[in-house]
C-alpha cells in the first residue's frame, strides 16, 4: 500500500515524467531463464529492486551466467524511486512490490555472454 501511495505522489510531482517511457535494470546472478517464463511471463514473490544504471545491474549479475532484466516502464507500471532512502544515494533505485508480474517482450538477447530480457512489469 505504501508503494502505491508513493507512486501517486510521484505522478503529482512530475506528470510528464510519470507518463514517459523509462528503462530500468535488474541484474540476476547465476540465473537461467526457463522456456515457460519466455512464453508466459512470471510473478516475483518478493520485493524487487531495480536501477536506472545498466552498469550497476551488470555488476549485480556477476560473471557466471549473468542475466539482466530490462524493464520497460511508464506510469503505474514503474516502481517507486527510493533514492532518498538508499544506502547508495547516487544510485537511483526503484522498488517494486511483491507479486509484480513480469511480461517478456520478445526473445532474450545475448551479447558478450550476458542474457538480456526486456519485460513489462504489471502491478496490482
The C-alpha atoms of residue 88 and residue 105 are separated, in whole angstroms, by 30
Provide φ and ψ at 105, rounded to 5°. -115, 95
The C-alpha atoms of residue 86 and residue 96 are separated, in whole angstroms, by 14
DSSP string covering 30-48, please? T----HHHHHH-EEESS-E
- pLDDT at position 25 is 97
Rg of the Cα atoms in the chain? 14
- pLDDT at position 123 is 87
pTM, 2 dp: 0.87
For the chain, 124 residues long, give each residue's pLDDT as a single digit of tens.
Answer: 777 777 777 777 777 777 889 999 999 988 888 899 999 999 999 999 999 999 999 999 988 889 999 999 998 889 888 887 777 778 889 999 999 999 999 999 998 889 999 999 998 7
- pLDDT at position 5 is 77
Q: Are 74 and 22 in contact, with CB atoms under 8 Å apart?
A: yes
Amino acid at each position: 500500500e505504501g508503494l502505491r501511495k508513493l507512486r501517486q505522489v510521484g505522478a503529482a510531482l512530475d506528470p510528464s515524467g510519470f507518463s514517459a517511457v523509462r528503462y530500468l535494470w535488474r541484474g540476476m546472478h547465476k540465473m537461467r531463464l526457463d522456456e515457460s517464463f519466455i512464453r508466459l511471463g512470471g510473478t516475483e514473490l518478493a520485493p524487487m529492486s531495480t536501477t536506472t544504471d545498466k552498469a550497476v545491474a551488470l555488476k549485480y549479475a556477476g560473471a557466471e551466467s549473468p542475466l539482466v532484466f530490462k524493464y520497460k516502464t511508464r506510469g503505474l507500471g514503474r516502481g517507486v524511486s527510493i533514492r532518498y532512502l538508499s544506502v547508495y544515494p547516487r544510485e537511483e533505485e526503484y522498488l517494486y512490490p511483491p507479486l509484480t508480474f513480469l511480461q517478456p517482450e520478445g526473445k532474450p538477447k545475448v551479447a558478450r555472454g550476458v542474457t538480456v530480457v526486456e519485460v513489462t512489469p504489471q502491478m496490482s
